[in-house]
Amino acid sequence: MARPDPEILKRLRARIWALERTAPAASEALSLAAAIDDALPWGGLPLACLHEVVAADAAGGGFCAALLGRLAARGPVLWCMRRGSDEPYAPGLAAFGLSPERLILARCDDDRQVLWTMEEALRCPAVGGVLGEVGAINLTAGRRLQLAAEAGGVTGLLILPPAARPTGAATSRWRVRAAASSPAPWGGLGEARWQVTLERCRGGVQRSWLLEWRHDGGGLAVVGSLDDGRLQAC
Amino acid sequence: MVAETRRIISLWLPRLATDRLTRRAPLAGWRALPLATVHTVRGGLRVAAVNAAAQAAGIGPGMPLANARALRPDLKTVDGRPDRDLETLTALADWCTRYTPWTAVEVLAEDGSGGLWLDATGCAHLFDGEEAMLADALRRLEGMGFAARAGLADTPGAAWAAARFMAGESDRSAIVPEGAARQLLAGLPVAALRLPPTAAETLHRLGLRRIGDLLPLPRAPLAARFGDAVARRLDQLLGRTPEPISPRRPVPPYHARLSFAEAIGRHEDVAAGLRRLLEMLCARLARDRQGARRLELGLFRADGSVARIAVGTGRPVREPAHLARLFAEDLGKVEAGFGIEAMTLAVAAIGPLAAEQAALAAPTARRGDLALLIDQIGNRLGRDGIVRATPRATHLPERAARSASPLEPIKETTWPTGTRPLRMLPRPESVQAVMEAGEVLVRFRWRRQTHRVARAEGPERIAAEWWRAAAPPPPDAVRDYWRVEDDDGRRFWLFREGRGGGWYMHGLFA
């Protein structure tokens, strides 16, 4: 299929947004990788709104840490979670471009407190980004976070377990799981690979990619797209 | 600066035990009837405390209940609860902080009466003078259902004597002006010296009935004849010996109060009151180049109950807007009840904050906002609830990151090298491992899930920190760490203990 003219696409999108009144509050977006940016109406991950990440395993945390690492350039970032869970480990953060000095950890008693902390932080323009991990969330709580993110101009990431029902209040929803790496030439573990699916996004289409996280500073690299469940090289 | 003369209030609640019962429903109807609390003494029921009507009928503490019933067959009785009485007295001491932050419970006596101390030094002018202050306290206590007497003097001893022996039914407060204790109290009976009963009796037998009778006597023979108590109490009464009394709550270095002519109830009014208190205190903090680290707001309701809200800050602050925000959430939840009559604000902990620092603290609004956010979250989650990791020199992975306050300046930023996981388990978790040839890990079970090892990298040997231990380390005090990827691409940080020991999960790679 021939690739549509990006200019025409952009104009059409603008018209649809105007009709649906879903135009993103902030036009600023974080560029992830060319293939992903193309699938997002904003030309990247939009800032100052909420994104849900359904994480099947620890890979979801890695994807979010990589995003936080980028957001940390705008201000310190918060990671909110329940006490006693597996906490982010400072010596391992730098590998995701996230400097431990820029990360503030909030240990909460329960999900409600995680959501409260996230909301407070999202309303604070001095913050670069807020990540929260909860077991479940309802639509009202999701809307509150979305509104707080818009009000404070801060980007929010919400990690949910696969069993949690997505709220639909977020601007986008992602599903992330680990994927087998390609073996390193010397026989050890290769670069980490994640299967990242954009499940829902206002004005976007569902897409799936195989990403590789390049620890040497290469960042997110798209290894292939997985749109029909089959890997296609990009 | 001239040292201020101390001014002490002694509040006496002669019928605390019975007033506590009849001040509200369901026993309010018994207020005018003869009422006594009873307790068991050596197997028999005796009267513990009485109200005014019972006393008028000749019933008094210590009387066997049977005798009391003979005097008044309609005597109402309730089991005595000294624990509840003390609770009430303590709550009243707390309530009295509306007059001065320095209050203390003096005594809960066996006869059901109670006493409180208030250090009112430098407080009276806030209430249009000492007389008005005492009148206000007595009126409010009466409104709450407590009979009370008040004495005010330079020493606790003189105030105590004034409350119990000068104040009466018609004038329920007695003020001993500064330096006038000797003159005014000389006519009081020796019992006003807070003496043990035996000492008071001895004095009586010798015809020494009034405090004035003791004053001309030389001190040494007095002590020799009647024991130390009489001479000491006399010295305390006259202020020749200080009488240290500890306040119930620590006295804050900074304190401000507001009272309202009419009780307020709307949240906006309460918030405005807080704002005024903060402005008053922040101005004083600025003068002393200090900032607040911990504050406590007291809200005094018309029914005598007190609501308190405490907040803390991560670094010294004297910005009224910042501090007001920390109170905002809890303040919104306070029930005003019948209205709030007075508010106090105490700065319980302070830290130096130079004028320049205060100006620099918000070079851009953004930095100031972050400190406020961290304080707000810290007040909700606790100090260890909001942290930033700083490195610690150690080989042990679980000790490598120390939790510090996010507002603490960063000194060290060098982290250990080597591939480390994204997440760390709170403590290593044992896994069931299946190995081939006793060496190569092929499968393991962790958190009720089985993982087949696809690839592994290692080992990285990490030795125990033997220099920290008192005894030489056991031979198995080494860990061999492996990075392991399972069939699905999930990655783990596992270690094997010692040489050929058990396997543990310690971290998760992303």
**Which residues in chain B are contacts of A116 at CB distance < 8 A?**
380
Distance CA B242, CA B207 (A): 28
Domains B1-250 and B254-378 share a fold: no
What CATH code is carried by the domain that includes residue A166?
3.40.50.300
**Which residues in chain B are contacts of A89 at CB distance < 8 A?**
397, 401, 420-424, 507
In a domain, A137, yes or no: yes
In a domain, A9, yes or no: no
Q: Which B residues, 389 through 428, put their C-beta within 8 Å of a C-beta on chain A? A: 389-391, 397, 400-401, 403, 406, 410, 413, 415-416, 418-426
Residue (of B90, B47, B86, B91) closest to B65 by Cα position? B47
Q: Which one-letter DSSP state was computed for residue B440?
A: E
Residue (of B347, B146, B140) closest to B263 by Cα position? B140
Distance CA B456, CA B480 (A): 12
In a domain, A10, yes or no: no
Element (H, E) at B486: strand B478-486
**Looking at the 3D structure of chain A, how many domains does it have?**
1
In a domain, A27, yes or no: no
- Evaluate the CA torsion angle B47, B52, B55, B60 in order and state its sign: positive
Confidence of residue B277 (pLDDT cuts 50, 70, 90): very high
Helix, coil or strand: residue B80: coil
Distance CA A31, CA A107 (A): 30
- Average pLDDT value for chain A: 88
Of A22-26, A87-91, B273-277, the range with the lowest mean pLDDT is A22-26
pLDDT in tens, B406-432: 888 888 778 887 889 999 999 999 999
Average pLDDT of the residues in B450-479: 76
pLDDT at B241: 87
A105·B507 Cβ contact <8 A: no
pLDDT in tens, A131-174: 999 999 999 999 999 999 999 999 999 999 999 888 889 999 99
pLDDT in tens, B199-241: 888 888 888 899 999 888 888 888 888 878 888 999 999 988 8
A117·B420 Cβ contact <8 A: no
Distance CA B481, CA B479 (A): 6
**Which residues in chain A are contacts of B367 at CB distance < 8 A?**
126
pLDDT at A228: 64
Tell me what ipTM this predicted complex has.
Answer: 0.88
CA distance A129 to chain B (A): 12
Task: Please report, rounded to a whole number, the percentage of residues in chain B having pLDDT higher than 70.
Answer: 94
Can you give the three-state secondary structure of chain A, one letter per residue?
A: CCCCCHHHHHHHHHHHHHHHCCCCCCCCEECCCHHHHHHCCCCCEECCCEEEEEECCCHHHHHHHHHHHHHHHHCCEEEEEECCCCEECHHHHHHHCCCHHHEEEEEECCHHHHHHHHHHHHCCCCCCEEEEECCCCCHHHHHHHHHHHHHHCCEEEEEECCCCCCCCCCCEEEEEEEECCCCCCCCCCCCCEEEEEEEEECCCCCEEEEEEEECCCCEEEEEEECCCCCCEEC
Distance CA A80, CA B190 (A): 67
Distance CA B386, CA B373 (A): 10
- Nearest chain B residue to A179 by CA distance is B489
In a domain, A154, yes or no: yes
pLDDT at A137: 94
The Cβ-side half-sphere exposure at A161, using a 13 Å CA radius, reads: 7
Domain boundaries, chain B: 1-250, 254-378, 387-417, 423-509
CATH class of the domain defined by B254-378:
alpha beta
A126·B509 Cβ contact <8 A: no
User: Which domain range does residue A73 map to?
Assistant: 33-180+189-233
CA distance A131 to chain B (A): 14
CATH class of the domain defined by B1-250:
alpha beta
Q: Is the pTM of this model over 0.80?
A: no
In a domain, A13, yes or no: no
pLDDT at B467: 55
Residue type, B221: P
Distance CA B173, CA B222 (A): 32
Of A61-75, B241-255, B404-418, the range with the lowest mean pLDDT is B404-418
Can you read off the two tokens belonging to residue B424? Answer: 């760390």
